Structure 1
Amino acid sequence: MIYQGNAVRVERGPEGANEAIATLTFDRKDASINTLSSAVVAELGEAVAAIRAERSLEGLVIGSAKQAFIVGADITEFHGMFEQGAQQIQAMLERVHGIFNAIEDLPFPTVTAINGLALGGGCEIALTTDFRVMAESAKIGLPETQLGILPGWGGCVRLPRLIGADNAIEWIAGGTENRAEAALEMGVVDGVVPSEQLEAAALDILARARAGELDHQARRAEKQAPLLLDPIEQMMAFETAKGYVAGKAGPHYLAPLEAIRVIQKGAGESRARAQAIETTAFAKLALGEVAFNLVGLFMNDQQVKKKVSRYAKQARPVKQAAVLGAGIMGGGIAYQSASKGTPILMKDIQEEAIELGLKEARKLFTKQVERGKLSTEQMVERLTKLRPTLAYGDFGHVDMVIEAVVENPKVKAAVLAEVEDQVGEETILASNTSTISITRLASNLKRPENFCGMHFFNPVHRMPLVEVVRGEKTTDAAVATSVAYARAMGKTPVVVNDCPGFLVNRVLFPYFGGFSQLLAQGADFQRIDKVMEAFGWPMGPAYLLDVVGMDIAQHAGEVMAEGFPERMAGMAGDRGNNQGKSVIQVMVEHDRLGQKNAKGFYAYQEDRKGKPRKVTDEAAIALVEGLVKERRDFSDEEIVARMMVPLCLETVRCLEDDIVGSPAEADMALIYGIGFPPFRGGALRYIESMGVEVFVSQAERLAEELGPLYAPTEKLRQMAASGETFYTREAQDAGKAQG
């Protein structure tokens, strides 16, 4: 044994031919996967020093004892590192560069055996060696730009020299995970073999290098030499890429474009100078708000997944599912279940509806085939898992039923009571309702303990979130089974407690309320859309209402108004309340339902691909003008505040009311459910980035003019006064729970 640490060990090969070969193995004893924490990096430095001290060595293999190779740096350390400032960040990067350069400069050939995921720092370690061999099932990539940073341990320096600037830009700016065959074709790795042959392949490469058959010094020199590009090649490789990437990334995501600049600036430089350019750029991005929020988002996602995993341990297996209703939502749910391998019955009372649901499923499967995600044989096999029916004949063998009929409490209650008599006593029933109380729907059921909500978002195949809604009598087993089934469908489930609108719609409608009040004071809805899209939303509120459907929005708004009359009365046209008609109600009365009938705030025309394209509609503008009660000019900042404050406050209330269990779940639900701008981290992270005290002051000023929708809660005022934040409180609560 040359070196033994808690995460890194270095051993000589067995006596004989491989005795002069050292193997450096990553195997964290305190984790199920390998990550490069500061402690692991320190051990790596010690291990490399021990290798350099062994004079008789003639080769090195770097490998992993885990299923993955190395999934990257330990992201849980990032926030603490970022808070130390640019000087400390750069010092850390320089230490790592020193270690990685020492590997690259070893006086004998080196090879990395990539057995599983090699991402971020894992990929960058692999790039330090002379050769790389990869298992067929492994993936490799540099996804740092997805966290608002760039590869900072040599990825922006070594990868372009290995595969060319244009290919490196594609990998780094895109942040992709790449399969073994793509890595081989690109020249990132030197061989791809079955996993059981990986060690032998690595040793064979070293033997050939030691014998002079492979020139490791030439490979090393090429990897360290500057990129020699003439001016035209420079323009083609960098300037064209900048324009394309800037258009794809948008103005808020700076890391992909900065990564291209780093590659460009370092292309003609020595290794040391190029690494210094990379280090400076990394520190600059790391200190930005976007990187902080995206790292927080990653950790929130991990926290949500851990909670889902805990529920899954209590779940009953769902071997056969069923959905009631073959409409847009029911058909989407049936497709999603079948596409992920869980057989599902799709029941409706009309043959036409069944055919429509099947047509939608076939269309979605066909698109998968066209994109190369499925073979025709796989499509046929998965289609067989979706079985249409007009009767309850096979429902006695169903483990899970999702009701997805019309959003009407009487209809839903009747259908649920009917299906309950057709299924087994342990079958879980769930309603895909977006607003109706689960406790209310459960009141007529014989087994309310087996009933919960499963709120999918439209379109089901694209939207990642499912709200699993716990009613008053819902058991943990029912929740756990629903969570596990949602995860099996490829979704991210978040468990919430019952209330009008649950979490996402309850939070969304105050946002629409802020929109309605702006219109009443003369703001132009097209300008509001542009301002909020510039803020980061995928679509502005008027456009979003058109997509949701004005009739659906009115119904949901009435549910909100009934549940929270002090704040939400009048937002969707409460009839007969003498507050005047809302813009949503006026749109419904004029049969402007949005995209579903090609007219709402905008008119809709089909583009060349058959998708609805919005165009300005003077009739809609005239309708909105008729609702104006006063005329005011608003700055972009005022529009953002008027829209965001109600949404953020309602998120706070949901947390305080225990509708959602944690800030992480609240923020992830908004990002996955309504497209809250990811780079802003979620509503609660947005409040923190502004400063709780600043946010409360802004809300109080608006509440004086606009009423309770803008009034901060007493707990939020106390947080502002004490300097507390949502995520510091969450960390403290987690610490107490562990203690």
Structure 2
Amino acid sequence: MMTTVVADIGETTTLLPGAVMWHAELCGGGILKVRIDRRDKSVNALSKSMLEELERLIAEIRRDTGVRGVMFLSGKPGSFIVGADVTEMKTMTGGAEAAELSKLGQRVFELLETLHVPTVALISGACLGGGLEFAMSCRYRIADDHAKTLLGLPEVKLGLIPGWGGTVRLPKLVGLIEALPMILSGRMLSGRQARSKGLVHDLVPVEALPFVGEDLLRAVIKLGTASTLFQRPKRPSIARLTESIPPLRNFAFRKAEGKVRHETKGNYPAPLAAIEVLRAGFRQPPSIGFAAESAAIGRLADAPVTRECLRLFFLQEDAKKPVELADIPTKPISNAAILGAGAMGAGIALLMAQKGIWTRLKDLNPEFLANGIATARKWVTSDVQRKKMTPLQASDTLDRLRPTTDFSGFKQIDLVIEAIVESLPIKQQVFRELAEATAPTTVLATNTSSLLVTEIADGVPHPERIVGLHFFNPPLQMPLVEVIRTDQTSPAALATAFALTQRLGKTAVIVKDCPGFLVNRLLAPYMNEAGWLLLEVSDPLEIDRAAVAFGLPMGPLELTDLVGLEVAQHVAANMHAAYGERMLPAPLWAALKELATNDPKAAKSLLIGKGSKKKLNPAVRRAIDKVRQSGVYSVPGGTPTREELTQRMIFPIINEAARCLAEGIVSKPEDIDLAMVFGTGFAPFRGGPMRYAESLGFAKIVEILEKLANGRPRLAPSDALKKF
């Protein structure tokens, strides 16, 4: 069905009038321009109905002899096609339905791939999952150099694999050796990276993209090919050799499988399924790969791990629009300032500059300031070398980052984030200075991790504009930010701070001001219990092995060494002061502190060595023996089993989480799951601490804690937990 309309640019023919997503107009020279702009969504996402609409469009193209070339471009700025419409997964009845949707997408994209006329995908913005599978079905792909242009197949992060032909087409375009890590990790590529790997044919400036696509099609229509227009990257000979010789290819698959098993501990079936599908379909007729792909999708859709990964995805999406901030106007952030040019301050400043915010980085010490700017420059240079950004983007980013040693110009600043030394008197003094140096409407935020925001704001004029923005280290990589509200924080200041986290691409959780906030408060009993367990176990490394086997990225001993033993001891003391005997520090920490006073080098870490050679620091072993001999701690029972180790580390997290909910520190259990998964890496396949507790049964956890609390009152279940 076609409708002819007359526009200012001349006569055009509309194919598929009334389309929801695929808006096609046949222009001069037989070029069909398809604007991808889903009217019922803020982003372009591929649902079953949108695939069927594309299938109807392809049928119209096949019937229309006037179409000589097709160009696809997005009508949504900063977004090409973000992938499948995963909200449909909520209503699916099971794996069979998911497999059928996979087959539908495969069929439609194969129809697109085999069109009799040339097709080009003009990629600007996110081109992910099903969006990239769609683009790979086009004959040509051209991307622009916008910072938001990212290409990848992230399905594995949802517990799935590419289901619309991605496992078949990606290896053909970039080679198996490049396709394996892309699919198994869900890693995204910038436009430059995609061009260097051969995933796209060309990279052009943003403003040139529509014209380049039209020129390409006219050239192909005239010449019959575009092979002379592009210089395709040559793949390394070793990669081509590995893929062409079966024993070497099998070795590559086995190596990938071993890496996946090591990294996931067998907790995530999707990466292993992806390897099976890639192995089945590589250098085979596409139908074989497609069949393996859809069958795997059907199996994975029914897997509990997939359900938990999808739940976390939906929680993350819901968290972008907190109910308590609905309809609250926010202050636009054009100019910002960061106080403190250390690694944290420099990282936050660079992150803001990357997102287009003019940012002043202030430090009283010129040497620290120079080091902070140099660090930011080093990070940006690394991104350019890895083709994550263009030299022009790097230059623009650094131009937006301005060093300063004073408060000049701060009256024009919209928001300030303080990231200086963790000293309450110093922070209070700095905030009093900020109150004078900035406008009364400037939002003032602290990045403190161990002090109360309320105390920092004490005595500062207009305390309603003060919030906490607790970034996790390193801020460029860690996805979580805790947005801390005090009793005086205004809704407008809170909403503005939260909006900034969204602009920075972070997952944010609103937390009521309390010692440790949320994540550190929940981690405190976990890390402290490790100190008690060290006095009981015969093999100290079994503590970390139990935590990792449960699904944590690292055990409490390794985590303690990562944050620093001195910092961990300081946090333990603060938590004890704030929360009493349930946070009673293990006597080992005091023994280690005494040891460090006499021999600082000996007690620098709990563990020494790496990999299989990792072992307990002999100095720590001496401290353990000293505590045992002192008789200050009588070990109840025998050596803990693996199950008891896990219970004693994980259940206190759940116990403290229940208290946080009862105190209104966060508004709902899902906030705790989000914060712990994205702030600590807490076993995503288990859904987070509260989801895990729900699956296990709160009553069972209470019963086990009551038994464990015999001789260990710190482990007693809280009244809040008993009420679940």
Q: For the superposition of Structure 1 and Structure 2, which TM-score range results when normalised by the shorter chain? A: 0.7 to 0.9
Distance in 1, Cα, partners of 2:559 & 2:151: 37
Structure 1: where are the runs of 5+ without partners?
217-226, 573-580, 608-612, 720-739
Structure 1 window deviating more from structure 2 (184-193 vs 66-75): it is: 184-193
Return closer, same or farther for 1:336/1:38 CA change in 2, 3 Å cut-off.
Answer: closer
Q: TM-score, normalised by structure 2?
A: 0.81
Q: Residue 656 of structure 2 aligns with which residue?
A: 650
Q: Residue 624 of structure 1 aligns with which residue?
A: 624
Q: TM-score, normalised by structure 1?
A: 0.79
- Provide Cα deviations, 1:651-672, integer angstroms capped at 9, x if missing partner: 2332343212344433332233
Distance in 2, Cα, partners of 1:59 & 1:487: 39
Return closer, same or farther for 1:656/1:53 CA change in 2, 3 Å cut-off.
Answer: farther
Distance in 2, Cα, partners of 1:168 & 1:436: 46
Q: In the alignment, does 2:378 pair up with 1:366?
A: yes
Return closer, same or farther for 1:593/1:156 CA change in 2, 3 Å cut-off.
Answer: farther
Q: Secondary structure at the match of 2:509?
A: strand
Q: Residue 602 of structure 1 aligns with which residue?
A: 606
The code of the aligned residue for 1:344 comes to: R
- Provide Cα deviations, 1:141-173, integer angstroms capped at 9, x if missing partner: 222223232111111122223443233324323
Q: Residue 104 of structure 2 aligns with which residue?
A: 95
Q: In the alignment, does 2:689 pair up with 1:686?
A: no
Q: Residue 180 of structure 2 aligns with which residue?
A: 169
Distance in 1, Cα, partners of 2:335 & 2:302: 48
Distance in 2, Cα, partners of 1:377 & 1:37: 34
Q: Structure 1 residue 543: deviation in Å?
A: 2.4
Distance in 1, Cα, partners of 2:719 & 2:588: 28
Q: Structure 1 residue 241: deviation in Å?
A: 4.2
Distance in 2, Cα, partners of 1:135 & 1:201: 10
Q: In the alignment, does 2:311 pair up with 1:296?
A: yes
Return closer, same or farther for 1:71/1:432 CA change in 2, 3 Å cut-off.
Answer: closer
Return closer, same or farther for 1:267/1:555 CA change in 2, 3 Å cut-off.
Answer: closer
Q: Secondary structure at the match of 1:443?
A: coil
Whether the aligned pair in 1 keeps the contact of 2:596 and 2:602 (CA below 8 Å) is no
Q: Residue 575 of structure 1 aligns with which residue?
A: none
Distance in 2, Cα, partners of 1:586 & 1:85: 56
Q: Secondary structure at the match of 1:166?
A: helix
Return closer, same or farther for 1:599/1:291 CA change in 2, 3 Å cut-off.
Answer: farther
Q: In the alignment, does 2:598 pair up with 1:588?
A: no
Distance in 2, Cα, partners of 1:333 & 1:167: 32
Q: How does 1:119-158 map to 2 (within 5 A)?
A: 119-137=128-146, 138-158=149-169
Whether the aligned pair in 2 keeps the contact of 1:700 and 1:710 (CA below 8 Å) is yes
Return closer, same or farther for 1:334/1:160 CA change in 2, 3 Å cut-off.
Answer: closer
Distance in 2, Cα, partners of 1:593 & 1:470: 42
Structure 2: where are the runs of 5+ without partners?
3-14, 228-241
Q: Residue 118 of structure 1 aligns with which residue?
A: 127
Return closer, same or farther for 1:614/1:501 CA change in 2, 3 Å cut-off.
Answer: same
**Aligned residues between the structures:** 680
The code of the aligned residue for 2:76 comes to: K
Whether the aligned pair in 2 keeps the contact of 1:166 and 1:238 (CA below 8 Å) is no
Q: Residue 44 of structure 1 aligns with which residue?
A: 54
Distance in 2, Cα, partners of 1:105 & 1:114: 20
Distance in 1, Cα, partners of 2:615 & 2:576: 31
Q: Secondary structure at the match of 1:658?
A: coil
Q: How does 1:247-286 map to 2 (within 5 A)?
A: 251-286=266-301
Return closer, same or farther for 1:195/1:505 CA change in 2, 3 Å cut-off.
Answer: closer
Q: Structure 1 residue 481: deviation in Å?
A: 3.8
Distance in 1, Cα, partners of 2:254 & 2:161: 19
Whether the aligned pair in 2 keeps the contact of 1:546 and 1:593 (CA below 8 Å) is no
Q: How does 1:224-623 map to 2 (within 5 A)?
A: 229-232=244-247, 234-235=249-250, 237-243=252-258, 251-307=266-322, 313-315=329-331, 317=333, 319-323=335-339, 341-348=357-364, 351=365, 354-356=366-368, 358-370=370-382, 372=384, 382=398, 385-389=401-405, 399-417=414-432, 419-485=434-500, 492-522=507-537, 524-565=539-580, 567-568=582-583, 570=584, 572=585, 582-591=587-596, 599-602=603-606, 616-623=616-623
Distance in 1, Cα, partners of 2:500 & 2:293: 44
Distance in 2, Cα, partners of 1:116 & 1:717: 48
Q: Residue 170 of structure 2 aligns with which residue?
A: 159
Q: Structure 1 residue 262: deviation in Å?
A: 1.1
Q: Secondary structure at the match of 1:711?
A: coil
Q: Structure 1 residue 110: deviation in Å?
A: 4.0
Q: Residue 724 of structure 1 aligns with which residue?
A: none
Q: Residue 725 of structure 1 aligns with which residue?
A: none
Distance in 1, Cα, partners of 2:395 & 2:316: 30
Q: Structure 1 residue 205: deviation in Å?
A: 5.1
Whether the aligned pair in 1 keeps the contact of 2:21 and 2:37 (CA below 8 Å) is yes
- Provide Cα deviations, 1:241-264, integer angstroms capped at 9, x if missing partner: 444555566644443343232111
Whether the aligned pair in 2 keeps the contact of 1:602 and 1:620 (CA below 8 Å) is yes
